[in-house]
Amino acid sequence: MVIGNTLDGMRPPAPAFPRVIDMPKSVTQANPEVRSGFFERRRLRRIRMIVELTHKLISSDMTVSHREAQCLVQCARKAILDLHPEFAERYERVIRPHFERVLAQRWPGAEPLDPGDCELIN
């Protein structure tokens, strides 16, 4: 006996996951503001990695000059703000003073460079 679309009247099981609509890689979603906690934690881990790597290079690599160290700090700032533009205030409050302390300990009495001077190295 045929009831509906199946022999016994039971519907076939629905797929476990909804159908995924494929989207080309060049197209972005309409709402970029919605970010999952996973992506946010990943961005924060990358920021932490940038800060730690820059700190290690400046404080322990004896071949790095003062000018190169300041350029590394400028590049780290740019990379951090590219990852998280809303991080500017926190960078100025927390990370920049940390880098300034490290630079002052390693090169006491050295003057800071203008931001445009780092363009030559990078």
Question: Each residue of 15-68: pLDDT tens digit?
Answer: 666 666 676 666 666 555 556 888 889 999 999 999 999 999 999 989 999 999
Looking at residue 13, what is its pLDDT? 66
Domain ranges of the chain: 48-120
Quote the distance between the C-alpha of residue 2 and its chain's center.
Answer: 59
Contact (Cβ atoms closer than 8 angstroms) between residue 99 and residue 73: yes
Give the SS3 label for residue 11: coil
Structure token pair of residue 83: 């990852």
Separation of alpha carbons 55 and 80, rounded Å: 14
Whether residue 122 has pLDDT greater than 50: no
For range 80-98, the mean pLDDT:
92
Q: How confident is the model at residue 109 (pLDDT cuts 50, 70, 90)?
A: confident
Q: Which residue has the higher pLDDT, 114 or 91?
A: 91
Taking the whole predicted model, whether its pTM rises above 0.95 is answered as: no
